[in-house]
Amino acid sequence: MSEFFGTVTQPNATEAPATEHEILDVQQTDCCIVGGGPAGAVLALLLARQGIPVMLLEAHKDFNRDFRGDTVHPSTMEIMEQLGLASSLLELRHSKLYQLTFQTPEQTVTIADFKRLKTRFPYIVVLPQVKFLELIAEEAKRYPNFQLVMGANVQELIEEDGAIKGVRYRGHGGWHEVRASLTVGADGRHSHLREQAGLKPIETSPPMDVLWFRLPRHPEEPEGIQGRISSGHIMAMLNRNEEWQIAYIIPKGGYQQLRAAGIAVLRQGIVEVVPELSDRVEHLQDWSDVAFLSVESNRLPCWYRPGLLLIGDAAHVMSPVGGVGINYAVQDAVVAANVLSSPLKAGNVQLSDLAAVQRQRELPTRFIQAFQSFIQQQIFARAFNSQQTIKLPILLRLPILRDLPARILAFGLWRVRVQN
Ligand SMILES: Cc1cc2nc3c(=O)[nH]c(=O)nc-3n(C[C@H](O)[C@H](O)[C@H](O)COP(=O)(O)OP(=O)(O)OC[C@H]3O[C@@H](n4cnc5c(N)ncnc54)[C@H](O)[C@@H]3O)c2cc1C
């Protein structure tokens, strides 16, 4: 399925720059957003609501992906409410998670208790990301100045006079060009635009990798997310109604060794952590049932170039700790819209405007990455060593700081609000 809304201008020989590809058409918009994930889709909606011509280019033909983030935190729920979409989202099939806990054989440790937060949404909504994205895209389609092109694989930045002037993408029978006063790269952790722009992230290396797979879920089993630690293994299980989407966390670099040991060893590890799964672990027949995610954490020192801004995972990949990636991507989108709407309407986006977006988002990003790194060292690295007892770090056990993790995971350093 492919979709297109909006007008197309035919190639104009005087405008199209020299390129080795035959360009089928040249389209013009104010803001061209590459990537229809949470960051790109929400930014497109926010700009569309303000009457700004915006084009969203997504490489896939639908929003469905295997093994993506499925958590909508209180910060994003508040943003959805500001957009009038919270009740529509809550009408979709979902479960609610009021606490983030993990169970060890000895105890249950609560990392974050959202019930104590002052918000209308004191919980994480767990629902397939595709449903969230479809809701946003449907809302954006109400605005005639919004264009969505699915199956548009952006491959080139157009650079003229030292500034980015748009992109070229492959899709719909060949090459197409989009010219825009601002291009936004929201194309995820392997951002092609970031690479094309020559922007290099600073990498840190979390001590773990993740194997993702699905196993059947029985209707009477608990809702939400289950975290379990036992015998040097860690698992997080996300309720996807008829299935558990499971993250089996392994020490960094341990995948090849586990794979060589065979799928039976993985099954055995799963049952050691969650004995209840012994009745269905055989569903994992071979390694094709398992997706490997190399856990990364990085951030760009500079999120922009003239005419180009990077947001979401393209600007900062988050570790999976606390499942905050979607929410930071959405917050980036809100700040970008707050800062850039007026310059876009005036047709005059300055480098200082792009710098202002980074300035507002960099500190919260660095802060959450430091918090994730702290939890990784204090809990995950210890958990891999089956001899060590897992306890909540002493700091987080102090009554005065008890609500801090929930606040940090729910909102970050401060709340982000839609201003227009
Ligand atoms: C397995 C896994 C589990 C995760 N679990 C969680 C979780 O539970 N909670 C959470 O908050 N976060 C989670 N995350 C992280 C979360 O998914 C990301 O942080 C979030 O999706 C980032 O949003 P984004 O819009 O920046 O990028 P993405 O969601 O990656 O979206 C980028 C989009 O750009 C498109 N694209 C890429 N290249 C091009 C191109 N050249 N042309 C056009 N389009 C392109 C892609 O198809 C994609 O749709 C998880 C990530 C993974 C990989």
CATH number of 177's domain: 3.50.50.60
State the pLDDT at residue 11.
Answer: 40
With 0-12 CB in 10 A as exposed, 13-18 as middle and 19+ as buried, what is 411? buried
Q: Are residues 280 and 167 in the same domain?
A: no
Q: CB of 166 within 8 A of CB of 25?
A: no
Residue 12 forms part of a structural domain: no
> Does the beta carbon of 96 lie inside 6 Å of ligand 1?
no
In this prediction the pTM is 0.91
Q: Residue 349 burial (CB < 10 Å; 0-12/13-18/19+)?
A: buried
In ligand 1, the atom with minimum distance to the C-alpha of 212 is 1
The pLDDT, as a whole number, for residue 6 is 38
| 140 and 193 assigned to the same domain | yes
- Sign, CA dihedral 95-98-101-103, equals negative
> Of the residues 2, 3, 58, which should be mutated to test ligand 1's pocket, given the most ligand atoms within 8 Å of the CB?
58
For ligand 1, atom 19, name the residue with the nearest CA: 325
**Is 343 in the same domain as 199?**
yes
Could you tell me if the CB of 317 is within 6 A of ligand 1? no
Q: Residue 15 Cα, ligand 1 centroid: separation in angstroms?
A: 33
Q: Per residue in 290-323, is it b (16+ CB within 10 Å) or e — as a string? A: beebebbbbbbeebbbebbbbbbbbbbbbbbbbb
The closest residue, in CA terms, to atom 41 on ligand 1 is: 154
Chain centre to alpha carbon of residue 382:
27
The residue nearest atom 37 of ligand 1, judged by CA position, is 187
In a domain, 17, yes or no: no
Q: Is residue 50 part of a domain?
A: yes
The CA 37 to ligand 1 mean position distance, Å, reads 6
Q: 42 CA distance to ligand 1 centroid (A)?
A: 13
Q: What is the 3-state secondary structure (H, E, C) of the chain?
A: CCCCCCCCECCCCCCCCCCCCCEEEEEEEEEEEECCCHHHHHHHHHHHHCCCCEEEEECCCCCCCCCCCCEECHHHHHHHHHCCCHHHHHHCCCEEECEEEEECCCCEEEEEEHHHCCCCCCCEEECCHHHHHHHHHHHHCCCCCEEEEECCEEEEEEEECCEEEEEEEEECCEEEEEEEEEEEECCCCCCHHHHHCCCCCEEECCCEEEEEEEEECCCCCCCCEEEEEECCEEEEEEEECCEEEEEEEEECCCHHHHHHHCHHHHHHHHHHHCHHHHHCHHHCCCHHHCEEECCCEEECCCCEECCEEECHHHCEECCCHHHCHHHHHHHHHHHHHHHHHHHHHHCCCCHHHHHHHHHHHHHHHHHHHHHHHHHHHHHHHHHHCCCCCCCCCHHHHCHHHCCHHHHHHHHCCCCCCCCC
- Same domain for 347 and 406, yes or no, is no
Is 373 within a domain?
no
Our mutation pick for probing the ligand 1 site, out of 57, 66, 68, counting the most ligand atoms within 8 A of Cβ, is: 68
Same domain, 215 and 88: no
Out of 259, 293, 327, a domain closes at 293
Looking at 293, 311, 338, which one is the last position of a domain? 293
420 domain residue, yes or no: no
User: What is the domain range of residue 28?
Assistant: 23-63+130-204+297-368
Residues 277 and 139 in one domain: no
On whether both 277 and 302 belong to a single domain, the answer is: no
What is the C-alpha to C-alpha distance for residues 188 and 312, in angstroms, rounded to an integer?
A: 7
**What's the CATH number where 212 sits?**
3.30.9.10
Let me know if residue 324 belongs to a domain: yes
Instruction: Say if ligand 1 is within 6 A of residue 329 CB.
Output: yes
Q: What does the pLDDT read at residue 315?
A: 98
Same domain, 301 and 322: yes
- Compute, in angstroms, the gap from residue 38 CA to the centroid of ligand 1: 7
The low-confidence residues of the chain, meaning pLDDT below 70, are 1-19, 386-400
Which atom of ligand 1 sits closest to the CA of residue 317? 19
Residues 40 and 184 in one domain: yes
Cβ–ligand 1 contact at 318 (below 6 Å): yes
Residue 329 in domain? yes
The structure tokens listed for 321 are 């700790």
Can you tell me the distance from the alpha carbon of 25 to that of 183, in angstroms, rounded to the nearest whole number?
18
Regarding whether 240 and 284 lie in a shared domain, the answer is yes
| Number of domains observed in the structure of the chain | 3
Pair 75, 192 in one domain: no
Residue 15 inside a domain? The answer is no
Give the end of a domain, one of 258, 293, 328.
293
Residues 53 and 177 in one domain: yes
pLDDT of 404 reads 87
